[in-house]
Amino acid sequence: AQSVAQPEDQVNVAEGNPLTVKCTYSVSGNPYLFWYVQYPNRGLQFLLKYITGDNLVKGSYGFEAEFNKSQTSFHLKKPSALVSDSALYFCAVRDQLDDYKLSFGAGTTVTVRA
């Protein structure tokens, strides 16, 4: 079985400060890991993914995430947050042993204050 945990329901930061959204996962095999963002009344937008290779993955809008196998984590980071980054963020995992199933975390609401 696979699962994802996003331990924080909400993250609040000031504009210009670093932003971190936490994610830990559990899979039987090796993970494929994803981050998506959802703006109000919009669908999910892809931010970045880890499949294999470098542990530090860079994605859209200045976001990056670091795959840490020993801690089974894939935290999303942005060095300097913008007000426009305020949205709902989802971490997702797929077990390489599973054909296709993608499991989502509960989501973290990010609020960046001006």
Contact between residue 106 and residue 19 where contact means Cβ atoms under 8 Å apart:
no
The correct pick among 1, 10, 43, 70 for binding other proteins (CB under 8 A) is: 43
Q: Is 5 in the site for other proteins (CB under 8 A)?
A: no
Contact string (CB under 8 A) for other proteins, positions 66-105, x = contact: ------------------------x-x-x-----xxxxxx
Handedness of CA 68, 4, 26, 92 (dihedral sign): negative
Which residue lies nearer to other proteins by CB, 44 or 82? 44
Calpha distance 1→106 (Å, rounded): 17
Closest CA to 4 of 95, 110, 98: 95
The correct pick among 1, 10, 41, 53 for binding other proteins (CB under 8 A) is: 41
